[in-house]
Amino acid sequence: MTARSVKGAAFAVLLVASSTASACTRGHEPAVPGEAHRVVSLGPATTEALFAVGAGNRVVGRSRYCDFPPEAARVPAVGGIEPDVEAILQLAPDLLVGPSGQWSTPLTERMRAHGIATWFPPEVATLEDVDALVEGIGDRTGHAADARAVVASMDAREKAVAQALARTEAKKPRVLFVVDVQPIVAAGPKSFADEMLRRAGATNVLADGGAWPALGFERVVDLDPDVVVDASMAESTGPERITASEAGWSGVRAAREGHVVPLRDERVLRPGPRIAEGLAVLAKLLHPEAPIP
């Protein structure tokens, strides 16, 4: 299952890929011990982590979707969802990192044949997994202490959000968290977005099923969410995509009552070092009355 819409599609596909890793791709370890000095990163989250821990000057290649921090955009791109192997080899990296996917196991084998280490972190299903990703990047680049400091800062921000929400008496809204609309794809209970909703003071209306199920309008109407978070808006500047005037959505109570929250901030669903900022963004959207830091 993939999501669509060019930059929005890339966002959704990378999101799903990083959250539905194959069980056979469980964080390949570097082939040669020691810290990496030339790194190619194939995902926005790992690229952000490299720069956050102080290893940005070691990034020699990136996917075309790696756009933060701004310095990352100056690094040569090596393709999109499926990377260009020849472009990677020309950069002579000693480490290749990124989200797991169907392509990561054969890519690992090809890199190993050239003496290039790979690390595709295991499934990102919780905020604790995001911490592990950042620390894993630090361990592989000689920035372990810096990575621990980044994780400590993330954890402190997440704790501050929890404390702020604890001081409000607002009820928890039942939320449908949509990441694409054609078809409708939403965050299920096995996605890390599910934990983001819980940590942001909400209840996911999808209580069973997989991480990113596709839904029909009949199912959405039956779920009857109080709020629809339209995360298909992330990384977009276009018009809102979920309104009561759109076909199908007129039957959804939240859309009719104006309880659709457009989400245009990629920090909420990029499982990297800015995820705690994303949690604060989501909590503020769902609880504007709470003193979210």
Rounded to the nearest 5°, which phi and psi values hold at 226? -75, -35
Cis? peptide before 183, omega within 30° of 0: yes
- Say which residue, 81 or 118, is predicted with more confidence: 118
Greatest distance between any 2 Cα atoms in the chain: 58
CB atoms within 10 A of CB 152: 11
Two tokens, residue 10: 């890339």
> Does the pLDDT of residue 25 top 70, yes or no?
no
The model's pLDDT over 152-174, given as tens digits with 9 standing for 90+, comes to 999 999 999 999 999 988 889 99
Among 114, 96, 115, smallest CA distance to 46 is for 96
Could you give the CA distance from residue 53 to residue 212 in angstroms, rounded to a whole number? Answer: 30
Q: For residue 227, how many other CB atoms are within 10 A of its CB? A: 18
| Percent of the chain residues past pLDDT 70, beyond the cut | 86
Task: Please state the rounded mean pLDDT for residues 21-40.
Answer: 58
Average pLDDT of 242-255?
A: 91
Beta bridge partners of 59: 39
* Tokens describing residue 62: 């990136």
DSSP 8-class letter at 1:
-
- Token code pair at residue 209: 């099923």
Q: pLDDT tens digits, residue range 110-138?
A: 999 999 999 998 778 899 999 999 999 99
Look at residue 213 in the predicted model and tell me its pLDDT.
96
Q: What pLDDT, on the 0 to 100 scale, is given for residue 65?
A: 93
Q: What is the average pLDDT value for the chain, to the nearest integer?
A: 87
Q: Are 178 and 184 in contact (CB under 8 A)?
A: yes
| This prediction's pTM | 0.87
Please report, as a single letter, which amino acid is at residue 238: G
Distance of CA 267 to the CA centre of its chain: 8
Which pair of structure tokens corresponds to residue 63? Answer: 């996917």
Of 86, 212, 233, 125, whose CA–CA distance to 133 is shortest?
Answer: 125
What is the model's pLDDT at position 168? 85
The arithmetic mean of pLDDT across residues 218-239, rounded, is 84
